């Protein structure tokens, strides 16, 4: 009877295994809404798991920013045209672009009841900037006087306070910069500049899982990799007070799955329709489809240390730019998800101008002539590096095809398996000749698309472009007396950039999303995010 | 029997260490820096990145990192995720119950329906119903699972409206039926074919003739004598199939939005979350090992001639 005995043993093991898996699978939410787990009056959007804990200065990716933006309100925000709207600030004044006086609106409270004062901002910014706290966005505070003391290039910080931040009273403080920055006010609109309540400093780690902000929504819960739920803040005093009862940020395995849920009424808003559904999403959704360009640009960035482009005549790069048939590629390969670029600065950014140049227009004959007459390309061969996990392969291949057909230059797509490997090659100067660059506006001023990308000391300048005249033009614009003058000087600088071609702008991004029949008033802000507080439930 | 099980369990230790080391070194060998990648195209402060790596122990040489990992593992610590700074154990505790439910569902479906189909066809080999089964299984084997998944989604969710196209984050039992059927259909085809062949062959065996000659009722002949002897190849297949169902369901999980293990490994790989990948793969290795032990023990049940000492 040995057999029977061991059968019992096996059966026992299976029972244990079954019991172990029986847990889980509970449900919550009410029956009124068709969508599982969504309370009435809430809206849902496909915003997946934030990469990092929810601390404003440690988040720079889109998903986390979405949640942070709903929970925190900074001094100011931007409207759809990219104009400044004061939110928590009553006013921000300066006479010399160096010392800025901020007055806060009175009576604002964090969600735990604590009042928002000058200290809430000053202490938070000092904490964010401190090198010891290893915040991703610490460099955003580098304009402030005393930044080097809290964030030295090497070693421990000398101080835990930046000397440039001083409280005048509970609702007034001054920011002194180490040198004038005419567009500094615009920078303050970035999510990183959010204030923090006192409870944060006791346990930042716990705060990152359960943040307490001062924004239009109050944090409710975070089921990791499933959803984040926030509810409307009834005491909110800002202009962007929630018009719905709350938001569910839902995580989806794929964009296709999110789209399926949108169609079946289990999701209210989708940020981006996947390539599979792009050709038919306008038919499916009708006037609920959302297509709108936003302030972001994609470029091909030549690396000036490579054999291909070392000491190249910029006219050759202009020739390559003319060899790319932007119109056709955006229409066919990219399914209308991009809009051909006409300058280095995208639409919706202050200082966007018509450069009046034919560099961005497809002209194969002239392209061939430009490349050939200005010395050509060493080896007559270029590589375009891109990350294979980002859906870039199709258009890179098309761009290469276009360049090859127009100029006869051999163009080879150089795929890196993923974004990490792609970045590593850029950081270590191992790009063969060009890489795919993408840049979304942090703040809607043309300086963001000039200085941060093409100044010889800019950290995002992975093409290692370096030009004295361009640097000087940027410096001149930075030293301008007023914002208007600075924008204008940056426009002049852009003309210089066009002559030097540190990058070949390809196209501006568009959001291709949509919403369900259950919601209304879905609008998009300047960097392509939904204005969630404006969304109403039908 | 007890000694045999003990010996098999002990053998798992070197297999376990070997496989974790292998996966660990593979993750180490991958290019790309997960800490640096967190910043994306924005500026990075190398000092800050170095500090973060030091804190996570990612600046150490491979052998040291592996040693730290193993030491942690034996204390029940699966490590910490790089980006979220949450323990890997939490991620495992989240993903595994969902996948185990899905895999169990698919497994039960495969076993019950597959064996039934196999017996049904095998009893009348080369007749019409046998041919039909061969055709159906051929279809299931040759159609890729994502095609099957999309078809099922369009048909059952959009056309008929019986189910929601996606599984909600809670992944309740009833929502998992459709993905489980799609996931299990490939194995179903194999199980049906294995059973059919085995049954058809054993029908001609001597002991079957004896059983019939003894005048046993037909139900007993088929249910006990025939089935029990025909199950050995099927059980072997099912044993390894458990592991495949658990770890290899990335595509099906993606289509139906099941946030299970396959998805978790895929995401972790993309973000170079080494400790998450190693932790989950290790658990799947253990599932494989335990399943194959169970299969070996089942042999003894099915065939009394097999004895373990």
Any idea where the domains of chain A sit in the sequence?
Answer: 14-74+205-292+512-537, 79-196, 294-510
Q: Exposure pattern of A281-314 as b/e (b: 16+ CB <10 Å)?
A: bbeebeebbbbbbbbbbbbbbbbbebebbeebeb
Chain A: closest CA distance from residue B239 (Å): 13
A114 burial via Cβ count (<10 Å: 0-12, 13-18, 19+)? middle
- Is the Cβ of A430 closer than 8 Å to some Cβ of chain B? no
Q: For A14-74+205-292+512-537, give the CATH class.
A: alpha beta
Q: In terms of Cα–Cα distance, which of A345, A303, A355 is closest to A440?
A: A345
Interface test with A, best of B168, B274, B280 (most A CBs within 10 A): B168
Q: pLDDT, tens digit, for every residue of A315-342?
A: 999 999 999 999 999 999 988 889 999 9
Q: What tokens appear for A225 in the block? A: 């990799």
Instruction: Nearest chain B residue to A130 by CA: give it.
Output: B48
Q: In terms of Cα–Cα distance, which of B169, B175, B178 is closest to B148?
A: B178
B169 to A250: CB separation less than 8 angstroms, yes or no = yes
Residues of chain A with pLDDT under 70: 1-34
Q: In terms of Cα–Cα distance, which of A240, A306, A311 is closest to A79?
A: A240
- Is the Cβ of A423 closer than 8 Å to some Cβ of chain B? yes
B271 to A51: CB separation less than 8 angstroms, yes or no = yes
Contact A453, A461 (CB under 8 A): yes
- Is the Cβ of A418 closer than 8 Å to some Cβ of chain B? yes
Instruction: Report how far residue A69's alpha carbon sits from residue A51's, in angstroms, rounded to the nearest whole number.
Output: 15
Question: What's the CATH code, domain A294-510?
Answer: 3.10.105.10
A172 SS3 class: strand
**In this predicted structure, what is the pLDDT of residue A538?**
85
Assign residue A290 a region: left if phi > 0, alpha if psi is -120 to 50, beta otherwise?
A: beta
- Is the Cβ of A260 closer than 8 Å to some Cβ of chain B? yes
Instruction: Report how far residue A437's alpha carbon sits from residue A302's, in angstroms, rounded to the nearest whole number.
Output: 10
Q: What tokens appear for A391 in the block? A: 């859906």
The sign of the dihedral angle between the CA atoms of A91, A97, A101, A102 is: positive
| Residue keyed to tokens 């070693």 | A155
**In this predicted structure, what is the pLDDT of residue A10?**
46
Instruction: Report how far residue B77's alpha carbon sits from residue A102's, in angstroms, rounded to the nearest whole number.
Output: 48
Q: At what angle do helices A364-373 and A393-407 cross, to 10 degrees?
A: 70
As a whole number of Å, the CA-based R_g of chain A is 26
Instruction: Report how far residue A230's alpha carbon sits from residue A440's, in angstroms, rounded to the nearest whole number.
Output: 26
Contact A445, A527 (CB under 8 A): no
What are phi and psi for residue A108, nearest 5 degrees? Answer: -80, 140
Chain A: closest CA distance from residue B72 (Å): 21
Q: In terms of Cα–Cα distance, which of A250, A209, A225, A243 is closest to A66?
A: A250
**In this predicted structure, what is the pLDDT of residue A527?**
83
What are phi and psi for residue B42, nearest 5 degrees? Answer: -75, 170
Residue B18: DSSP 8-state: H
Closest by Cβ to A420, choosing from B44, B94, B272: B272
Contact A468, A262 (CB under 8 A): no
- Is the Cβ of A223 closer than 8 Å to some Cβ of chain B? yes
**In this predicted structure, what is the pLDDT of residue B127?**
84
**In this predicted structure, what is the pLDDT of residue B309?**
60
A478 SS3 class: helix
B170 to A254: CB separation less than 8 angstroms, yes or no = no
A420 to B31: CB separation less than 8 angstroms, yes or no = yes
Q: At what angle do helices A483-500 and A447-454 cross, to 10 degrees?
A: 50
Q: pLDDT, tens digit, for every residue of A240-291?
A: 999 999 999 999 888 888 998 898 888 999 998 988 888 899 999 999 999 9
DSSP string computed for A190-248 = SGGG----THHHH-HHHHHHS---SSSEEEEEEETTTEEEEEE-TT--STT--SSSEEE
Q: In terms of Cα–Cα distance, which of A202, A213, A183 is closest to A111?
A: A213
A79-196: CATH, from 3.30.460.10, 3.90.76.10, 1.10.150.120, 2.30.33.40: 3.90.76.10
Instruction: Report how far residue A175's alpha carbon sits from residue A94's, in angstroms, rounded to the nearest whole number.
Output: 10
B84 to A2: CB separation less than 8 angstroms, yes or no = no
Q: What tokens appear for B180 in the block? A: 């489980």
- Which chain B residues touch A53 with a CB distance below 8 Å? 84-85
A2 to B40: CB separation less than 8 angstroms, yes or no = no
As a whole number of Å, the CA-based R_g of chain B is 24
Closest by Cβ to B38, choosing from A26, A136, A223: A136
Closest by Cβ to B166, choosing from A27, A37, A261: A261
Q: Exposure pattern of B17-50 as b/e (b: 16+ CB <10 Å)?
A: eebbbebbeebeebebbbbbbbbbbbbbbeebbe
Instruction: Report how far residue A89's alpha carbon sits from residue A194's, in angstroms, rounded to the nearest whole number.
Output: 12
DSSP string computed for A247-277 = EEEE--S-HHHHHHHHHTTS-SEES---TTT
Chain B: closest CA distance from residue A108 (Å): 30
End-to-end CA distance of chain B: 5
Domains, chain B, with CATH or none:
2-73 (no CATH), 96-302 (1.10.3720.10)
Residues in chain B: 309
Chain A: closest CA distance from residue B303 (Å): 8
Closest by Cβ to A52, choosing from B31, B83, B297: B83
Closest by Cβ to B48, choosing from A131, A261, A460: A131
B259 to A136: CB separation less than 8 angstroms, yes or no = no
- Is the Cβ of A36 closer than 8 Å to some Cβ of chain B? yes
- Which chain B residues touch A458 with a CB distance below 8 Å? 43
pLDDT one digit per residue (tens) for chain B, 309 residues: 788 889 888 988 898 888 889 988 988 888 778 888 777 777 677 888 888 888 888 888 888 989 988 888 888 888 888 888 888 998 899 888 888 889 999 999 999 999 999 999 998 888 888 899 999 999 988 988 888 888 888 888 888 878 887 887 777 778 888 999 999 998 999 999 999 999 999 988 898 889 889 988 988 888 888 888 888 889 889 988 888 888 767 888 888 888 888 888 888 888 888 888 988 888 888 888 888 888 888 888 888 787 776
Q: What tokens appear for A197 in the block? A: 């309540």
**In this predicted structure, what is the pLDDT of residue A33?**
46
Q: In terms of Cα–Cα distance, which of A427, A416, A425, A426 is closest to A387?
A: A416
Instruction: Report how far residue A226's alpha carbon sits from residue A249's, in angstroms, rounded to the nearest whole number.
Output: 9
Q: In terms of Cα–Cα distance, which of A186, A188, A166, A191 is closest to A176?
A: A166
**In this predicted structure, what is the pLDDT of residue B297?**
87
Q: What tokens appear for B44 in the block? A: 């990075």
CB within 8 Å of chain B, chain A residues 154-183: 154
- Which chain B residues touch A417 with a CB distance below 8 Å? 31
Residues in chain A: 538
Q: In terms of Cα–Cα distance, which of A258, A244, A226 is closest to A39?
A: A244
What are phi and psi for residue A168, nearest 5 degrees? Answer: -90, -55
């Amino acid at each position: 009877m040995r057999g029977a005995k061991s059968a019992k043993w096996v059966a026992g093991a299976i029972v244990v295994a079954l019991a172990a898996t029986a847990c889980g699978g509970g449900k919550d939410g009410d029956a009124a809404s068709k969508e599982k787990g969504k309370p009435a009056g809430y809206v849902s959007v496909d915003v997946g798991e934030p990469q990092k804990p929810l601390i404003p200065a440690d988040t720079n990716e889109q998903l986390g920013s979405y949640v942070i933006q709903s929970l925190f309100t900074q001094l100011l925000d931007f409207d759809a045209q990219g104009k400044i709207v004061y939110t928590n600030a009553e006013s921000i004044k300066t006479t010399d672009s160096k010392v800025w006086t901020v007055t806060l609106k009175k009576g604002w409270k964090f969600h735990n009841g604590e009042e928002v004062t000058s200290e809430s901002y000053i202490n938070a910014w000092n904490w964010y900037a401190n090198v010891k706290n290893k915040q991703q966005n610490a460099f955003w505070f580098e304009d402030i006087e005393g930044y080097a003391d809290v964030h030295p290039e090497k070693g421990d910080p000398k101080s835990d306070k930046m000397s440039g931040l001083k409280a005048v009273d509970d609702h007034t403080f001054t920011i002194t910069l180490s040198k004038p920055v005419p567009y500094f006010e615009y920078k303050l609109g970035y999510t990183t500049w959010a204030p923090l309540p006192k409870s944060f400093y006791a346990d930042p780690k716990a705060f990152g899982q359960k943040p307490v902000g001062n924004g239009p929504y109050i944090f409710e819960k975070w089921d990791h990799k499933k959803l984040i739920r926030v509810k409307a803040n009834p005491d909110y005093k800002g202009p962007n007070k929630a018009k719905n009862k709350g938001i569910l940020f839902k995580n989806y395995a794929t964009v296709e799955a999110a789209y399926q849920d949108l169609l079946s009424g289990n999701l209210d808003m989708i940020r981006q329709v996947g390539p599979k559904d792009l050709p038919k999403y306008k038919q499916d959704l009708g006037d609920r489809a959302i297509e709108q360009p936003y302030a972001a640009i994609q470029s091909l960035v030549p690396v000036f240390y490579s054999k291909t482009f070392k000491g190249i005549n910029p006219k050759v790069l202009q020739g390559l730019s003319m060899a790319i048939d932007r119109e056709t590629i955006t229409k066919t390969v990219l399914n209308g998800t991009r809009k051909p670029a006409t300058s280095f600065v995208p639409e919706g950014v202050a200082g966007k101008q018509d450069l009046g140049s034919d560099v961005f227009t497809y002209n194969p004959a002239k392209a061939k002539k430009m490349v050939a007459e200005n010395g050509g390309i060493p080896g007559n061969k270029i590589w375009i590096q891109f990350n294979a996990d980002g859906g870039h392969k199709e258009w890179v291949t098309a761009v290469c095809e276009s360049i090859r057909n127009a100029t006869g230059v051999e163009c080879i797509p150089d795929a890196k398996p993923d974004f990490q490997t792609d970045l590593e090659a850029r950081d270590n100067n191992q790009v063969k000749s060009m890489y795919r660059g993408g840049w979304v506006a942090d703040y809607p001023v043309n300086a963001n698309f000039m200085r941060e990308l093409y100044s010889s000391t800019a950290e995002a300048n992975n093409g290692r472009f370096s030009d004295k005249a361009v640097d000087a033009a940027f410096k001149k614009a930075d030293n301008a007396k007023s914002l208007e003058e600075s924008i204008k000087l940056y426009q002049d600088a852009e003309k210089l950039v066009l002559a030097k071609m540190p990058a070949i702008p390809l196209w501006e991004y568009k959001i291709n999303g949509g919403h369900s029949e259950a919601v209304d008033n879905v609008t998009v802000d300047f960097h392509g995010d939904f204005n969630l507080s404006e969304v109403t439930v039908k | 029997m007890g000694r045999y099980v003990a010996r098999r369990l002990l053998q798992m230790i070197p297999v376990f260490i070997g496989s974790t080391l292998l996966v660990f070194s593979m993750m180490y060998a991958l290019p790309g820096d997960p800490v640096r990648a967190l910043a994306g195209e924005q500026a990075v402060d190398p000092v800050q990145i170095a500090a973060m790596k030091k804190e996570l122990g990612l600046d150490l040489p491979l052998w040291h990192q592996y040693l730290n990992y193993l030491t942690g593992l034996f204390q029940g610590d699966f490590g910490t995720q790089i980006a979220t700074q949450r323990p890997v154990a939490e991620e495992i505790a989240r993903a595994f119950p969902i996948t185990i439910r899905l895999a169990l569902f698919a497994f039960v479906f495969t076993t019950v329906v597959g064996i039934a189909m196999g017996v049904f066809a095998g009893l009348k080999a080369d007749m019409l119903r046998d041919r039909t089964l061969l055709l159906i299984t051929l279809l299931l084997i040759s159609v890729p699972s994502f095609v099957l998944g999309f078809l099922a989604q369009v048909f059952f969710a959009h056309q008929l409206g019986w189910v929601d196209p996606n599984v909600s984050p809670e992944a309740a039992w009833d929502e998992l039926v459709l993905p489980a059927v799609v996931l299990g259909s490939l194995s179903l085809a194999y199980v049906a074919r294995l059973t059919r062949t085995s049954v058809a062959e054993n029908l001609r065996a001597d002991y079957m003739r004896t059983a019939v000659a003894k005048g046993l009722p037909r139900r007993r002949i088929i249910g006990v004598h025939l089935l029990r002897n025909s199950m050995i190849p099927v059980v072997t297949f099912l044993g390894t199939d458990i592991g495949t169902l658990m770890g290899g369901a990335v595509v099906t999980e993606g289509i139906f939005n099941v946030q299970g293990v396959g998805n978790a490994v895929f995401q972790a790989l993309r973000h170079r979350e080494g400790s998450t990948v190693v932790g989950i793969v290790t658990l799947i290795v253990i599932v494989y090992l335990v399943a194959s032990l169970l299969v070996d023990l089942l042999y003894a049940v099915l065939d009394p001639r097999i004895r373990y000492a």
